[in-house]
Amino acid sequence: MTKIIIRIVVSAVAIAVTAYLLRPHIVVEGNDIGTYLLLGLIFGIVNALVKPLVTLLTCPLVILTLGLFIFVINGFMLLLTSSLSGGRLYVESLLWAIVGGIIMGVVNIGLEAVLGLNQQGKR
């Protein structure tokens, strides 16, 4: 249970950093901790439920592009999070969603490495 909460917080921080860096193109309304945690929860649910299915269905494209299509999938997951957020997250276009997805991925990898969330064998 603790790992789930930490992953939601990590996603919330990644969204906050992305919105800060891409301010005019990705905007979070209601700039408070509760909003970021809700967006982190929505993003986590979208990544857990929708992303594996989309990745499986687009597997030939992922292979054909040598994995680069994953960036497009991440952009769509950010757009889906935006549409499910009830106006709390605004993403201007798919291009900015892809750029935001790349930034979020880098921030997630960094924070998970620092917090040790991806270590095998330790629970």
User: What confidence score (pLDDT) does residue 48 get?
Assistant: 94
Residue among 60, 54, 14 at smallest CA distance from 37? 14
| CB 105 within 8 Å of CB 47 | no
User: What confidence score (pLDDT) does residue 117 get?
Assistant: 78
CA distances (Å), 47 to each of 30, 37, 75, in order?
23, 15, 11
User: What confidence score (pLDDT) does residue 116 get?
Assistant: 83
Residue among 117, 108, 114, 113 at smallest CA distance from 13? 108
Kind of pairing, strands 26-28 and 89-91?
antiparallel
pLDDT tens digit at each of 123 positions of the chain: 888 899 999 999 999 999 999 999 999 998 899 999 999 999 999 999 999 999 999 999 999 999 999 999 999 999 999 999 999 999 999 999 999 999 999 999 999 899 887 776 555
pTM of the entire predicted model: 0.91
User: What confidence score (pLDDT) does residue 1 get?
Assistant: 81
